[in-house]
Amino acid sequence: MSDDFVLDVTRIRDQARQKMSEGAITPTYGLDTSRVIEVLNDVVATEVVCWLRYTRHAISAAGIDRAQVAAEFTEHAAEEMQHALRAAERISQLGGDPDFDPTTLHRRSHTEYSTAADTDLKAMLEQNLLAERIVISSYQEIARWLGDRDPTTRRLIESILEEEEEHADDLTDLLST
């Protein structure tokens, strides 16, 4: 089989000179940026809600003297905040505005902010595991939708997804101890 890949550098150079104000977004970008920004803003909302839930649970778990669980929640909370910031940075790179509006965060989030049974460690672990399983599924679908049309955003989502899978695994270990 012959490799028929031909890179039309002349066309790419001409196109790159057009719309210079769009920065990193070139005509080879394969998606509608406004839709990608919208999807990423829902990721920002999801991550902020996850940060809030883990932070709340970390404090409650610490209060009932369960240091190991509290430490895990604190670590996850910090990672969820980093996920929110990384998604927000990508939104900005795509020419959008990251949406941290607290009045719409919960509606846009894929996961719930749940504090029920906040003295019950097992219930807390289960609520967080459920949330992780929801984000694992939704980020897998986002990664598939992005496909090869926006490899940078896809890699970002995949790298966040990898950490969510670690979170789910950590919670499963704690639930089985």
Looking at the Cβ atoms of 83 and 90, the one nearer to Fe ion is 83
Query: CB of residue 47 vs Fe ion: minimum separation in angstroms?
Result: 5
User: What's the rounded Cα separation, in Å, for the pair 27 and 18?
Assistant: 9
Query: CB of residue 132 vs Fe ion: minimum separation in angstroms?
Result: 5
Looking at the Cβ atoms of 57 and 83, the one nearer to Fe ion is 83
User: What's the rounded Cα separation, in Å, for the pair 50 and 132?
Assistant: 9
Contact 51, 131 (CB under 8 A): no
Residues 4-63 that bind Fe ion (CB under 5 A): 47
Say which DSSP state 42 is in: H
User: What's the rounded Cα separation, in Å, for the pair 77 and 17?
Assistant: 43
**Taking contact as CB under 5 A, which single stretch among the options 17-25, 77-85, 116-124, 142-150 is the one that binds Fe ion?**
77-85
Looking at the Cβ atoms of 95 and 126, the one nearer to Fe ion is 126
80 binds Fe ion (CB under 5 A): yes
**Taking contact as CB under 5 A, which single stretch among the options 6-14, 65-73, 99-107, 164-172 is the one that binds Fe ion?**
164-172
Query: CB of residue 43 vs Fe ion: minimum separation in angstroms?
Result: 8
DSSP string computed for 67-100: HHHHHHHHHHHHHHHHHHHHHHHHHHHTT-----
- Using the structure block, give the residue that is written with the tokens 């900005």: 92
Annotated binding site for Fe cation: 47, 83, 132, 164, 167
3-state secondary structure of 171: helix
72 binds Fe ion (CB under 5 A): no
b (16+ CB within 10 A) / e for 49-77? bbbbbbbbbbebbeeeebeebbebbbebb
Per-residue x/- marks for Fe ion, 109-148, CB under 5 A? Answer: ----------------------------------------
Query: CB of residue 4 vs Fe ion: minimum separation in angstroms?
Result: 41
* List of residues contacting Fe ion (CB under 5 A): 47, 80, 83, 164, 167
